[in-house]
């Protein structure tokens, strides 16, 4: 056995050295220049492809991300054929990249809010609130159909932020789904599919500020001074992927039809015996945490801390944007905040200008304090025990923090080597008008999948798309459709990508193996994306109205699911046992 392992290590090492040498040879022969997209050419795709391929092959997320970052840094460090020198410099550069990501205020806020929410979830669980809430939901969600629909509805309710959605809905519904023998993979899919797709089209969310600013800047570049919010509203009916994935969840839940790896996961879950463990996780989750013995179970021990988190987040969003506007230079917005701060426009502008990372951290800290105080006042725990459990909950999130840091580092190195610029340069050639919205959707998906960031993809593509669409067809409806292709394609790619932060958080929040989640949901996401292109963006490119496209697409989606899918039924006794 040792001989075999040593042989495997030797072979892997030899192949790696040869691959690095060949890579160095290709890079040193490439033309020198400041534009890395031109310098590296198709090699710019290597770091994300290596990370994604290894993640699927090895099922080791952290190792795969680390190697992807290393490959990117190695490419940037190559000056000659001395691969040892390049490898050492690449390793040192990884340290600088990770520290830079951690030092970024936005990233730091995301990691801190995840840690704090992890602490809140553990406290809620120890106080019996999670079990009481799960039991209460189980009375209504007494079949797999109802449980999936309730999860979908909760996802719509937490519309204001995709991170908050993943971290709140998953832990609440996990015990309900487990009891009804719905797979963790299906739960993770429903949670993930109601995170970014909902936040991306909500008129009050942490996404809208970036979206409307990019839209306004894009139109300004073609000499048009438009309302970014007004154009955003016009894009909503053409956000085909967002709309269709939400409808697909309902169709799948009602029919119980599944296909691909998800079908196998659901069949395995239905066949699981009550005494069997759910699945082996990459890291400890909240599953093994049990309520304190002898306490009275009440849903308020969950509703109050979670309600504090949600309401506190909305207030923190408003206050963050309010103070930002008052400290800025836009006199019209300052006047609005002083004269009508709680009007619709005032609230909207404040939320658009907010720092979501800081606001969610503040809300999570407030929810943590509320949960600790409740635990002490109800005499469930002493203050020392409550704080200890709160910290214990944070420990379960540490692995997520590591994955996020590596994912952000990969995104940083991908930006340095020019992956997105290369893809845009290759695909933005002369094209017929009718295909442009579809092409933009696909391009946005490719960039977002490879980089793991919808925000970055939108920021890259929007300044290119609006002038291009206007040049191809100077019609406002056509430009709006193309604009929606950017916003929706970015979300589709982000939804599928194994290096996306929302995908990672959805896995963590539902205690689902990360790669299992990616492998099962990607088939569904691609199926819906194909429907969005064939029955959405291609007809819209010919000028067909959305109210014709959407009903036809929904029928096609239903028929397609029935044709390629198979019903995964459940034992009728489940309803009686949980009623």
**pLDDT digit string (tens) for 390-399?**
998 888 777 7
Q: What would the mean pLDDT of 506-531 be, rounded to a whole number?
A: 92
Confidence bin at 148 (pLDDT 50/70/90): very high
DSSP 199-219: HTT-SSSSSHHHHHHHHHHHH
Q: What's the CA dihedral at 334, 338, 344, 345 to 10 degrees?
A: -20
Q: Which residue has the higher pLDDT, 50 or 204?
A: 50
Q: In this predicted structure, what is the pLDDT of residue 520? A: 94
Asked if residue 5 has pLDDT above 70, the reply is no
Strand partners, 258: 566
Residue 557 has, within 13 A of its CA and on its CB side, a CA count of 31
Q: Which residue has the higher pLDDT, 457 or 177?
A: 177
Q: Which residue stretches of 327-435 are H helix?
A: 331-339, 344-352, 356-377, 383-395, 398-417, 419-427
Residues whose CB falls within 8 Å of the CB of residue 79, separated by 6 or more in sequence, listed in order: 28, 86
* Cβ atoms < 10 Å from Cβ of 134: 23
Helix or strand holding residue 257 (H, E): strand 257-258
426 lies in a domain?
no
Tell me if 83 sits within 8 A of 21, measured CB to CB. yes
Confidence bin at 574 (pLDDT 50/70/90): very low
Q: What CA–CA distance (Å, rounded) separates 280 from 513?
A: 7
Tell me if 183 sits within 8 A of 268, measured CB to CB. yes
Q: What CA–CA distance (Å, rounded) separates 391 from 541?
A: 53
Q: Which residue has the tokens 């300004």?
A: 220
Tell me if 514 sits within 8 A of 189, measured CB to CB. no
Q: What's the CA dihedral at 240, 243, 248, 253 to 10 degrees?
A: 180
Percent share of the chain, pLDDT over 90 = 24
Confidence bin at 239 (pLDDT 50/70/90): very high
Q: In this predicted structure, what is the pLDDT of residue 24? A: 80
Confidence bin at 170 (pLDDT 50/70/90): confident
Asked if residue 424 has pLDDT above 70, the reply is no
Tell me if 160 sits within 8 A of 202, measured CB to CB. yes
Q: In this predicted structure, what is the pLDDT of residue 278? A: 65
Residue 65 has, within 13 A of its CA and on its CB side, a CA count of 27
Q: What's the CA dihedral at 501, 490, 408, 192 to 10 degrees?
A: 10
Interhelix angle 501-509/398-417, rounded to 10 degrees, is 170
Residues whose CB falls within 8 Å of the CB of residue 296, separated by 6 or more in sequence, listed in order: 128
Q: In this predicted structure, what is the pLDDT of residue 223? A: 80
61 lies in a domain?
yes
Q: In this predicted structure, what is the pLDDT of residue 280? A: 45
81 lies in a domain?
yes
Q: What would the mean pLDDT of 108-116 be, rounded to a whole number?
A: 80
Q: What would the mean pLDDT of 5-24 be, rounded to a whole number?
A: 75
Percent share of the chain, pLDDT over 70 = 89
Q: What CA–CA distance (Å, rounded) separates 425 from 37?
A: 9
Q: In this predicted structure, what is the pLDDT of residue 160? A: 66
Whole-model pTM: value is: 0.70
Q: What is the SS3 assignment for 567?
A: strand
Tell me if 407 sits within 8 A of 19, measured CB to CB. no
31 lies in a domain?
yes
Q: What CA–CA distance (Å, rounded) separates 276 from 256?
A: 23
Out of 41-45, 349-353, 379-383, 401-405, the most confident range is 379-383
* Residue 85, domain extent: 15-103
Average pLDDT across the chain, whole number? 83
Residue 490 structure tokens: 């970015």
442 lies in a domain?
no
Question: Which sign does the torsion angle of CA 69, 503, 441, 104 carry?
Answer: negative
56 lies in a domain?
yes
Asked if residue 575 has pLDDT above 70, the reply is no
Query: 95-99, 213-217, 414-418: lowest mean pLDDT where?
Result: 213-217
Tell me if 259 sits within 8 A of 248, measured CB to CB. no
Query: 160-169, 300-309, 484-493, 509-518: lowest mean pLDDT where?
Result: 160-169
Q: What CA–CA distance (Å, rounded) separates 388 from 392?
A: 6
Q: Which residue has the higher pLDDT, 339 or 401?
A: 339
Q: Which residue has the tokens 């189980």?
A: 138
Residue 432 has, within 13 A of its CA and on its CB side, a CA count of 5
79 lies in a domain?
yes
Q: What is the SS3 assignment for 223?
A: coil
Asked if residue 491 has pLDDT above 50, the reply is yes
Q: What would the mean pLDDT of 525-552 be, rounded to a whole number?
A: 94
Considering only CA atoms, which of 421, 423, 400, 399 is closest in space to residue 500? 400
Percent helix, strand, coil in the chain, to 5, is 80, 0, 20
Q: In this predicted structure, what is the pLDDT of residue 33? A: 65
Asked if residue 417 has pLDDT above 50, the reply is yes
Query: 88-92, 108-112, 340-344, 430-434: lowest mean pLDDT where?
Result: 430-434
51 lies in a domain?
yes
Asked if residue 418 has pLDDT above 90, the reply is no
> Could you say which DSSP state residue 544 is in?
-
Q: In this predicted structure, what is the pLDDT of residue 34? A: 67
Q: Which residue has the higher pLDDT, 540 or 291?
A: 540
H helices, E strands: number in the chain: 30, 2
Q: What CA–CA distance (Å, rounded) separates 579 from 572?
A: 12
Q: In this predicted structure, what is the pLDDT of residue 279? A: 56
Confidence bin at 59 (pLDDT 50/70/90): low
Q: What CA–CA distance (Å, rounded) separates 433 from 229?
A: 25
* Cβ atoms < 10 Å from Cβ of 296: 10
Tell me if 325 sits within 8 A of 334, measured CB to CB. yes
Out of 126-135, 437-446, 569-578, the most confident range is 437-446
Helix or strand holding residue 258 (H, E): strand 257-258
Determine phi and psi for 566, rounding to 5 degrees. -140, 140
Q: What CA–CA distance (Å, rounded) separates 512 from 552?
A: 34
Tell me if 393 sits within 8 A of 286, measured CB to CB. yes
Q: In this predicted structure, what is the pLDDT of residue 281? A: 46
Asked if residue 216 has pLDDT above 50, the reply is yes
Q: What CA–CA distance (Å, rounded) separates 82 from 414?
A: 23
Q: In this predicted structure, what is the pLDDT of residue 525? A: 95
Q: What CA–CA distance (Å, rounded) separates 158 from 148?
A: 16
Q: What CA–CA distance (Å, rounded) separates 187 from 512?
A: 9
Structurally, how many domains does the chain consist of?
1
Out of 114-118, 185-189, 422-426, the most confident range is 185-189
Q: In this predicted structure, what is the pLDDT of residue 571? A: 65
* pLDDT tens column, 274-285: 666 665 444 445
Q: What is the SS3 assignment for 566?
A: strand
């Amino acid at each position: 056995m040792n001989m075999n392992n040593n042989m495997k290590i030797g072979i892997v090492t030899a192949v790696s050295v040869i691959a690095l040498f060949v890579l160095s040879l290709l890079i040193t022969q490439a033309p020198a220049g400041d534009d890395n997209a031109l310098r590296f050419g198709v090699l710019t795709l290597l770091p994300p492809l290596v990370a994604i391929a290894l993640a699927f092959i090895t099922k080791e997320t952290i190792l795969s991300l680390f190697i992807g970052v290393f490959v990117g840094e190695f490419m940037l460090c190559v000056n000659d054929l001395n691969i040892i020198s390049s490898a050492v410099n690449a390793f040192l550069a990884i340290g600088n990249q990770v520290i830079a990501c951690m030092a970024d205020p936005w990233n730091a806020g995301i990691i801190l809010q995840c840690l704090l929410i992890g602490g809140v979830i553990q406290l809620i669980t120890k106080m019996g609130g999670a079990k009481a809430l799960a039991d209460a939901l189980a009375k209504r969600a007494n079949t797999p159909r109802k449980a999936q629909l309730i999860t979908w509805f909760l996802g719509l309710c937490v519309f204001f932020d995709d991170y908050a959605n993943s971290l709140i809905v998953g832990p609440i519904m996990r015990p309900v789904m487990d009891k009804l023998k719905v797979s963790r993979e299906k739960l993770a899919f429903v949670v993930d599919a109601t995170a970014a797709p909902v936040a991306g089209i909500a008129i009050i969310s942490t996404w809208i500020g970036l979206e409307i600013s990019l839209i306004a800047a894009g139109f300004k570049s073609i000499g048009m001074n438009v309302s970014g919010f007004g154009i955003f509203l016009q894009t909503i009916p053409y956000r085909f992927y967002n709309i269709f994935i939400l409808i697909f969840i309902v169709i799948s839940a009602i029919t119980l039809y599944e296909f691909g790896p998800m079908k196998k996961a659901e069949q395995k879950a239905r066949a699981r015996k009550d005494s069997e463990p759910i699945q082996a996780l990459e890291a400890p989750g909240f599953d093994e945490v049990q309520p304190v013995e002898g306490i009275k179970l009440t849903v308020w021990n969950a509703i109050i801390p979670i309600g504090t988190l949600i309401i506190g987040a909305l207030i923190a969003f408003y206050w963050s944007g309010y103070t930002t506007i008052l400290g800025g230079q836009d006199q019209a917005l300052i006047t609005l905040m002083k004269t009508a701060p709680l009007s619709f426009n005032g609230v909207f502008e404040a939320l658009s200008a907010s720092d979501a990372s800081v606001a969610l951290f503040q809300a999570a800290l407030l929810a943590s304090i509320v949960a600790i105080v409740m635990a002490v006042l109800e005499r469930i725990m002493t203050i020392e025990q409550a704080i200890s459990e709160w910290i214990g909950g944070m420990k379960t999130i540490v692995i997520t923090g590591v994955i996020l840091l590596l994912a952000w580092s990969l995104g940083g190195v991908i930006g340095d080597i020019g992956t997105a610029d290369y893809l845009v340069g290759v695909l933005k050639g002369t094209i017929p008008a009718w295909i442009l919205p579809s092409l933009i959707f696909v391009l946005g998906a490719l960039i977002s999948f490879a980089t793991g960031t919808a925000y970055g993809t939108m920021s890259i593509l929007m300044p290119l798309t609006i002038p291009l669409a206007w040049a191809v067809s100077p019609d406002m409806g056509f430009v709006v459709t193309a604009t929606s292709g950017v916003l929706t394609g970015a979300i589709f790619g982000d939804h599928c990508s194994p290096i996306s932060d929302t995908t990672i958080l959805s896995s963590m929040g539902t205690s689902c193996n990360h790669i299992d989640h990616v492998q099962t949901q990607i088939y569904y996401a691609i199926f819906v994306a194909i429907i969005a292109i064939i029955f959405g963006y291609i007809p819209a490119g010919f000028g067909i109205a959305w109210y014709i496209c959407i009903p036809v697409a929904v029928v096609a989606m239903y028929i397609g699911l029935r044709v390629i899918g198979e019903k995964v039924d459940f034992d009728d006794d489940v309803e009686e046992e949980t009623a």
